Amino acid sequence: MKYITRRLSFKSCKAGNFTAIGLAVIILCVGVTTRVASQTPSYIIDNYTIENGLPNNLVEDLEWDANNILWVSTFRGIGRFDGRWISSFTMQNGGLRGDHDGPLVNDGKGNLFFGDIQGDIYTIRNNRPVLTDTQYRKQNAVASPRVLQLPAQFWPSLFTSKNRLFQNQNSNSPVLLNEENFLFVQDKFLLCYNRKSERYDTLQHFNNDISLFKINQDILLHHKGKGIYRVQVTLPKTISLTAVQMEGYSENTDVFWLSAMSDPIAVQGSNCYLLTWANGIISRRLLCDILPAQLPVTSIRYNKDLDVLAVATAGKGIYIVRKKYLRTYFINTSSIISSPQFFYSLVETKDQQITLPFNHQLDLNTGAVSKQTMMPEYWCAFEIPDSIFFYSDKENNVFSLRAGETVSQKRLSFSPLPGYSSFVKTGGRVFYSVKNMIVELGAEKDSLFFTTNFESRQLARAMLEIRPGYIVLAGANGLYGFDIQTKKIDLLYKQNNGVLESVIKYQDYLITANYRSGLIIYRNGKAVKAPSDKLGSMTSVHTSFIDKNGYAWFSTDNGILRTQVQALINYYNDTTAYVGYQFFGKRHGMDISEINGGMQSSVAVLRNGNLAYPGINGVVTVDRSTASI
């Protein structure tokens, strides 16, 4: 559909009162400058110990569950880490019956289980460890939790005191050969175990420390300081070793791998690499370059979805390494009397070109700011890709800007009517809401479409198409459903505290962002308040967005929160009592004091997939390549 510009004047509309946020000052602008916040270092590292709630600083292993909660197995219990906080489960306060908790094993479906030195087996259920099997618990016996890394048919013979050769917990993972045999390392010996005979055979002794790992289906052995070798075994006890080239190998290389890991991880000094096969050699990809020197590493895990590295140590707790996901562009207005510049909206009018209120244009490639006249003093904007922009100014005059053009056309003129507004497209038609009105922006003419009696409150700060011809409106009164054909409006739920600033749809659930109250999940007449993060940042939530990987992103005054949207749905359905949030703030590259919201265009999904948020004195972007959008 092509849109033409027509002006419609509503002379009878009463002007509302608009309260500007911030101090009223007189600014004599003499220029605009910008600077990009420093991007070094590119990684952030945090150390968590017993002082942060970890059960013990001797850590055996760590692993993420299906909800991306990190579980930490220690000498004295299990820790649950949600990205900011640690909860502990021990013999004293968490229902465990033994210490020396072993490796965390993933069953391939996101479910974790582990064992203790007494032979008890636990699984993670409802965000806590639950005792599920005691058949291997024996009086005065010492069990090896490492056994759980093997298929269950090996457990009966190995969960006994006579098989203590397989009990060194901090050794690397065994490698399965077939249903009856597996390889493992003890000290500097490579051994093979047969389940039926319950016999260990020594295959070879090495001069230096060794470890086993797999890439794809190949079994490899690292002889520390000597190199990497492909292992081929002819049972019962003949092996052949073939040297394999590894990119950048050095004498200080250590390789870590556990049976559920798709790719091993190498540590070289302060650098950590993910190892893969490429062109007949082992290639490496840098994961971080800031590990502390001589760190006593016991296990390393990499979460590709979160792009987070977790490191377990013997005596120093855990280290969490993240990239700086955020980038800040400062936009400073030089003036005789300085004042904060509050940006509430932004749109990408060209690739990497951000158009901001107050006639600013930001080049994300260079950080340069210039004056723009295409969308003068716009307040809220809406784009029909490759067709047209609709936008309104702070007095809710409405304009349009065709794709490829540089001059906007004025469509609607209010007299004036300050307040928040929003746009939506449904069934091939475009609608605009302001105060208690809905206006259709037509191809031939613009016309008043619908009015309510909500004179004193805002009908919609955000509108969303649910299906062709049916939209929801989120605003000061609550969440409404509106049928375009019948012009019938229904209250879905009433909002008494705060104001709804955005709404998103996931399956048949609606998730609204309530400034002051947090997230509200709605479905079929039932509204449930989602749990907040522990610092309460969610009470100042503005915008919401769901990426293609199933993560929900929420901007707040203090920073950006991310969680799995399915975790929110599970909470709504009472299948979990816990929702973990990942927080991105100042340490992650947000160098402005506050992110702003309240407008439909308070978040922009850029053409390269990145996110952009307006704030005080600048713009914050989230890099798709580092944050896995």
> Same CATH fold, 43-323 and 8-38+326-627?
yes
Kindly list the domain boundaries of the chain, sorted by start residue: 8-38+326-627, 43-323
pTM assigned to the model: 0.66
C-alpha R_g of the chain: 29
Q: Please state, in angstroms and rounded to a whole number, the distance separating the CA atoms of residues 435 and 476.
A: 10
Q: What is the mean pLDDT of residues 262-286?
A: 92
Instruction: Classify the C-alpha dihedral 531-532-533-538 as positive or negative.
Output: positive
User: Residue 271: is its pLDDT beyond 80?
Assistant: yes
Q: Please state, in angstroms and rounded to a whole number, the distance separating the CA atoms of residues 247 and 299.
A: 22
Q: Please state, in angstroms and rounded to a whole number, the distance separating the CA atoms of residues 511 and 464.
A: 11
Q: Please state, in angstroms and rounded to a whole number, the distance separating the CA atoms of residues 384 and 363.
A: 22
pLDDT of 373-403, one tens digit each?
888 778 889 999 888 999 998 888 899 998 8
Half-sphere exposure of residue 37: CA atoms within 13 angstroms, side-chain side? 22
Between 81-85, 141-145, 287-291, the lowest mean confidence (pLDDT) is in 141-145
What backbone torsions phi and psi does residue 343 show, to the nearest 5 degrees?
-100, 130
Q: Please state, in angstroms and rounded to a whole number, the distance separating the CA atoms of residues 46 and 444.
A: 59
Strands in 470-516 per DSSP E? 470-474, 478-483, 488-494, 499-506, 509-515
Specify the CATH class of 43-323 in words.
mainly beta
Q: What is the mean pLDDT of the chain?
A: 85
Residue 15, pLDDT score = 35
User: Residue 3: is its pLDDT beyond 60?
Assistant: no
Residue 454, pLDDT score = 64
Q: Please state, in angstroms and rounded to a whole number, the distance separating the CA atoms of residues 201 and 204.
A: 9
Residue 582, pLDDT score = 84
Residues shown for the chain: 629
- Nearest of 351, 352, 346 to residue 375 by alpha carbon: 346
Compute the C-alpha angle 287/292/298, nearest 5°.
75
Chain-centroid distance of CA 414 in Å reads: 42
pLDDT of 168-190, one tens digit each?
544 578 899 999 999 999 889 99
Which residue bears the tokens 């490698």?
Answer: 175
Q: Please state, in angstroms and rounded to a whole number, the distance separating the CA atoms of residues 196 and 70.
A: 36
- Nearest of 570, 625, 618, 25 to residue 328 by alpha carbon: 618
Fold of the domain spanning 8-38+326-627: Methylamine Dehydrogenase; Chain H (2.130.10)
Instruction: Note if the bond before 41 is cis, omega within 30 degrees.
Output: yes
